[in-house]
Chain A
Amino acid sequence: MKAAVIVFPGSNCDRDMAHALQDFTDVKTVDLIPHTAESVDRYDAIFLPGGFSYGDYLRSGAIARFAPVMESVVSEAKKGKTVVGICNGFQILLEAGLLPGAMKRNTNLKYICRTVNVKVENSGTRFTSDYEEGEVLRIPIAHGDGNYECDEQTYETLKMNHRIVFSYESDVNGSTGRIAGITNEAGNVLGMMPHPERAMETLLGSEDGRGLFTSVYHHWRDTHVVTT
């Protein structure tokens, strides 16, 4: 499997994401791809990392969605390729319209960096198959704009179709329905605010994030590797 980690100007979790994939999964190739790249079509999975793309100066993710590489990211997503946006990456996917809803400031109006309890709401996705449904994970959050907002109809649709993949166990930032992560309708695009790439080693406090990356890898293996 070949994975691309997109580096926007201002991304700062790109290396952490690459480490997570390289050091803790069997993914063969992990490339850091600059925002100017024309195409990411040769990759099996595309990761949009956290950070402050373009300083998040207008709105989080608003400028990054117009980065040259995003055209290819959108078209690969529409073809069904695996796309994961974490934190700022999630915000970019929302701005790009690949996922519904928008992000507002946290209700306490402050940046929050803390390890929180995140519940796996749906383990039937390509991102969560290595987790148990209802499992509670210890995963750090680190954001100022993580207060997920969507209209009631969107929320009902997300809920009904089990597209809410992760939720916070307690209200940390004001998100509608305590939403921490959602997928698109087709189920190949995931956006989540918590940082699984920061929860890969017990040495650093938690290894509960590993399942996300291994799930993505196992999904690819199961659909691409012919077993004899």
Chain B
Amino acid sequence: MSARTMPRWKMFALHAGLSLTCAVTLYPVLWVVKLALSPTQTLSMSANPFPEAITLDHFRDVLGSTDSQGRWLFGRQLLSSLVVSGATTLVGLSLAVTAAYSLSRFRFPGKQSGMQLLLVTQMFPATLMMVPLYSILQWLGLLDSLGGLVLVYATSSLPFCVWMLKGYFDTIPRELEEAAIMDGATPGQVFWKVVLPLARPALAVTALFSFMQAWNEFILAATLLNDATRFTLPVALQRYVGEYKTEWGHFAAGALIISAPVMALFFALQKFLVGGLTAGAVKG
């Protein structure tokens, strides 16, 4: 019954349509690749998305950037980007998982209003939160520190993560946990050994989002960090885009370098993406 067939022309049309869409989608990306590989720093009037001459100079400049004391800036900035994003994912995820589990399973006062408050804060534009945040971080002694950045990133992505994970936890039948308890598992074991493995797709998606958010964020990082050796990569990239002059070659090379890890993660986790994003919502 399931062995339906499809007329040749229809299959062909399908492939043609999808290839065209892919070409349109990838065109801007190819254009950036071209900028990164072309020897000039400026844009050039051409519709051709493939470079006419190839040089790796822009990549060399961006990767090899050093400061006045000869320290390898790019290496340090990559490291701080990795540390900040990694720590944000870890901190954010552990906070979100416990909170979401509790919100999904237990009843306690203030739960509903807390969940609503979480959503509500998301509707206030983040840019204006910066003014008070600056003072709070000064008060905590966390200005100009990667730790402060991690805390801000982790908490600001929490509302989204908590909502997503709670939605997913709600779909995991309680009976599984009850059965484990019957078998003598402690509540901690139930959480670690039963609930978390089942929630893997949602965990993967949440982790990806936290990582991406921290990896890509730049307004806060540019405002809070005052030391070039600890800049995250997007802040470093900002240097190539001046108000009066944009070094397009360097910008494009830097953009590709910054996007590459996120893309890799994306493709590694894309299997989970489809399930993780929708399962929580489909429960109906």
A, B: real partners: no
Which residues of B come within 8 Å of A, CB atoms? none
Which residues of A come within 8 Å of B, CB atoms? none
